[in-house]
Amino acid sequence: MPKNAFLLVFMAPLGAFAALCLTLAGGSGGMGPGWWVAIAVVAGIGFRDLKGAWRLLFLDPARWIKETPRGLDILRPVVGHP
C-alpha cells in the first residue's frame, strides 16, 4: 500500500475513537469507570500506532508499506525494466 494511504488507514481507528468519545461524553456529562478502561486500552494501542506512524512520516511518498507479523516492511516499487 502506498505510504500516505497506509498512514490514513493506520491512524483512522484512533481518530474515530477519539471523535466518538468526545461526542458521547459531551451529551452524557460524566464518564464512568468503563469509559476510562476503554480509553486506556485504546490509548495504549494508539501510542504504539503513533510511534510507527512517526517513523513512516518522513519517508519518501513513493515508498510502499507492508505489514508483516514481525513489523512493518518498507518497500520501494520497481518502476520499469531496463
CA distance 18 to 21: 5
User: pLDDT (tens digit, 9 = 90+) per residue, 36-64?
Assistant: 787 788 888 788 777 877 877 787 777 78
Residue 42: what pLDDT? 82
CA distance 42 to 13: 9
Q: Where is pLDDT greater, at 62 or 30?
A: 62
Could you count the other beta carbons within 10 Å of the beta carbon of residue 11? 15
Residue with cell string 488507514 = 9
